[in-house]
């Protein structure tokens, strides 16, 4: 079936995968706004965006902790770099604690790009990869690398105390780092990752907990907290408004 709303998300080149989760695009080709619901996914997104004849924008969106309904304006094209949290410190060289559930504008010429970068997604993909390689650090705090590796590998299910013990970094220090850098605690971030991992199962029609939730009631509560709807409605994904779920169904 033909659709006027297209999207595509690609894995990054191996050389930048420690900092980038994927590089994507979406394009609302229609003359009407497209309803979408943005779900928390544990990523920080850098958008290069233009809606119709409106001004070209570069926006950084911080971590999200709750679902948000948005409307993509007609004739909108957007390319996006979805970063892993480590990139905030080492690639973007900023903090995002002040924009949790929010966004902030970056200069239009950020990274030396301009609105013409939106003409070709392939060019954008390779330009982003090349740019990030030029600003990647020579060294990264090994504790932070190991911490995020463990969080991803366990889908956020490893207790904070165990993470701290394996990394050799106290729980108090880790939470101070998370709150100062990202605007939330490590546990809160892990809960987001566990929800996101559950989406893969919900996309397959599995409406019962596959991960370490206490029981079905708690699973439903957490899914509703982060998506705004019950697992059954989320799985239906009416009008493909939950884009993250649509991407997972397509994988």
Residue 250 pLDDT > 70? no
pLDDT classification of 1: cutoffs 50, 70, 90 = very low
**How much is the mean pLDDT over the chain?**
93
Residue 231 main-chain phi, psi, to 5 deg: -50, -40
Position 143 scores a pLDDT of 95
Can you give the pLDDT at residue 126?
A: 97
**Average pLDDT score over residue span 209-217:** 82
Domains, the chain, ordered by start: 5-135 (2.60.40), 142-238 (1.10.10.60)
Question: What are φ and ψ of residue 59, in 5° steps?
Answer: -130, 135
Alpha helices, H only, the chain: 86-90, 121-135, 142-153, 160-167, 171-181, 186-203, 216-227, 231-236, 243-250
pTM tops 0.85, yes or no: yes
Closest CA to 20 of 159, 142, 135: 135
Position 229 scores a pLDDT of 94
Amino acid 248: pLDDT: 76
Stretch 188-208: mean pLDDT = 91
- Region 159-163: what's the mean pLDDT? 94
Lowest mean pLDDT among 90-104, 111-125, 171-185, 234-248: 234-248
Query: Can you say how many angstroms the Cα of residue 67 is from the centroid of all Cα atoms in its chain?
Result: 13
Rounded to whole angstroms, the Cα distance separating 220 from 232 reads 10
Start-to-end C-alpha separation, the chain: 18
């Amino acid at each position: 079936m033909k659709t006027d709303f297209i999207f595509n998300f690609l894995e990054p080149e191996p050389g930048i995968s420690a900092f980038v989760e994927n590089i994507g695009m979406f394009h609302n080709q229609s003359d009407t706004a497209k309803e979408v619901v943005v779900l928390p996914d544990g990523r920080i997104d850098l958008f290069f965006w233009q809606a119709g004849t409106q001004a070209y924008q570069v926006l950084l969106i911080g971590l999200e902790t709750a679902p948000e309904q948005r409307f993509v304006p007609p004739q909108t094209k957007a390319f996006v770099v979805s970063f892993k949290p480590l990139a905030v410190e080492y690639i973007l060289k900023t903090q995002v604690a002040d924009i949790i559930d929010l966004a902030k504008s970056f200069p239009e010429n950020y990274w030396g790009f301009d609105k013409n970068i939106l003409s070709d997604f392939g060019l954008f993909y390779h330009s982003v990869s090349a740019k990030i390689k030029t600003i990647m650090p020579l060294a990264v705090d090994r504790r932070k690398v190991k911490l995020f590796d463990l969080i991803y590998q366990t889908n956020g299910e490893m207790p904070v105390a165990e993470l701290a013990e394996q990394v050799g970094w106290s729980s108090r220090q880790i939470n101070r780092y998370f709150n100062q850098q990202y605007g939330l605690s490590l546990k809160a971030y892990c809960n987001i990752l566990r929800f996101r991992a559950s989406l893969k199962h919900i996309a397959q029609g599995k409406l019962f907990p596959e991960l370490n939730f206490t029981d079905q009631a708690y699973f439903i509560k957490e899914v509703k907290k982060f998506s705004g709807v019950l697992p059954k409605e989320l799985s239906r994904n009416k009008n493909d408004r939950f884009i993250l779920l649509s991407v997972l169904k397509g994988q």
